[in-house]
């Protein structure tokens, strides 16, 4: 399968002089078309920065990004708006990604302008359909929706552009587990039915394992390991990945705790 997007040696530095912080250090990866690629990392690993760099929401300090054979490293103005028709995103916080003064209808009609009026109207119903909603949601304000509904509206918003690449930045981490599975299923359906390429960013290896075709592991701005999901999760090579996997609490087996004490059993 060919790569739809490639990042070559991208680096992002924040601040100047002494307070300089390298959030992303010389990271290279490729996203295969029609696959779900997951970036796994803990807080401060730079994974969300990568999302914003790929989206062109902030400029890279150095390196190169290629989308469908074109250099998209430094897009501006109209070219960037074009790019956003193909590359869309869903963010982490289902509260703060809504403008609380907008109804769902207002939110979606804004995106509609990017694709043009008539086409937009058609896609509106279609996109809401994909996430299991209908037009009755348009008159609602965000506070009248549950967290899961809000996140589905956000996915619908992204889908209106029929993006070729969808970036989900911790899009499920603030949802309850039962709703989370529903959203993950929506994403896999998009991949399977529309052939959409998805970059899913998460701190939760469990979700990566459920969803991803490929996994990239980040630590302190460095990409330490990447490969097929089965390889990375069930046969990790890098120390960091191994430790991460060892520390993940599991449901059906007790986590191995260090030091002398053991879990206190009921007496």
Which residues ranging from 150 to 169 are in contact with other proteins (CB under 8 A)? 154, 157-158
Cβ nearer to other proteins, comparing 2 with 113: 113
Which helix (H) or strand (E) segment is 147 a member of?
helix 147-159
d(CA 147, CA 138): 16
d(CA 245, CA 211): 16
SS3 266: coil
Which of 17, 19, 101, 134 touches other proteins (CB under 8 A)? 101
Q: Is 43 in the site for other proteins (CB under 8 A)?
A: yes
**Alpha helices (H) in the chain, listed in sequence order:** 47-55, 77-86, 104-115, 117-130, 147-159, 177-194, 205-211, 229-234, 239-247
d(CA 106, CA 141): 10
Which of 123, 164, 180, 214 touches other proteins (CB under 8 A)? 180
Cβ nearer to other proteins, comparing 69 with 249: 249
Q: Is 245 in the site for other proteins (CB under 8 A)?
A: yes
Cβ nearer to other proteins, comparing 198 with 205: 205
Return all residues near 16 (Cβ < 8 A) that are at least 6 apart: none
List the interface residues with other proteins, window 189-228 (CB under 8 A): 203-210
Cβ nearer to other proteins, comparing 50 with 154: 154
Q: Is 55 in the site for other proteins (CB under 8 A)?
A: yes
**Alpha helices (H) in 44-116, listed in sequence order:** 47-55, 77-86, 104-115
Q: Is 182 in the site for other proteins (CB under 8 A)?
A: yes
The CB-of-259 to other proteins minimum distance in angstroms stands at 6
- Return the number of other C-beta atoms located less than 10 Å from residue 232's C-beta: 25
The CB-of-100 to other proteins minimum distance in angstroms stands at 8
Q: Is 119 in the site for other proteins (CB under 8 A)?
A: no
Cβ nearer to other proteins, comparing 28 with 239: 239
């Amino acid at each position: 399968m060919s790569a739809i997007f490639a990042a070559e040696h991208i680096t992002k530095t924040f601040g100047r002089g002494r307070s300089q912080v390298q959030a992303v250090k010389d990271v290279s990866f490729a996203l295969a078309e029609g696959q779900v690629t997951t970036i796994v990392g803990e807080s401060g690993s730079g994974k969300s920065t990568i999302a914003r760099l790929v989206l062109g929401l902030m400029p890279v300090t150095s390196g190169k990004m290629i989308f469908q054979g074109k250099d998209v490293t430094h897009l501006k103005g109209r070219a960037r708006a074009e790019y956003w028709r193909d590359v869309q995103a869903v963010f982490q916080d289902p509260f703060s990604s809504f403008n609380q003064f907008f109804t769902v209808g207002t939110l979606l009609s804004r995106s509609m302008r990017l694709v043009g009026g008539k086409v937009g109207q058609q896609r509106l119903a279609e996109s809401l359909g994909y996430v299991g909603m209908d037009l009755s949601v348009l008159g609602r304000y965000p506070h009248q929706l549950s967290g899961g509904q809000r996140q589905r509206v956000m996915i619908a918003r992204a889908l209106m552009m029929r993006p070729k690449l969808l970036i989900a930045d911790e899009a499920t981490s603030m949802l309850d587990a039962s709703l989370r599975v529903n959203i993950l299923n929506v994403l896999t359906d998009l991949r399977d039915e529309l052939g959409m390429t998805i970059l899913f960013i998460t701190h939760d290896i469990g979700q990566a394992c459920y969803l991803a075709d490929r996994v990239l592991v980040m630590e302190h701005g460095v990409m330490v390991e990447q490969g097929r999901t089965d390889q990375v999760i069930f046969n990790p090579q890098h120390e960091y990945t191994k430790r991460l996997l060892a520390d993940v609490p599991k449901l059906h087996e007790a986590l191995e705790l260090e030091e002398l004490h053991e879990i206190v059993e009921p007496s």
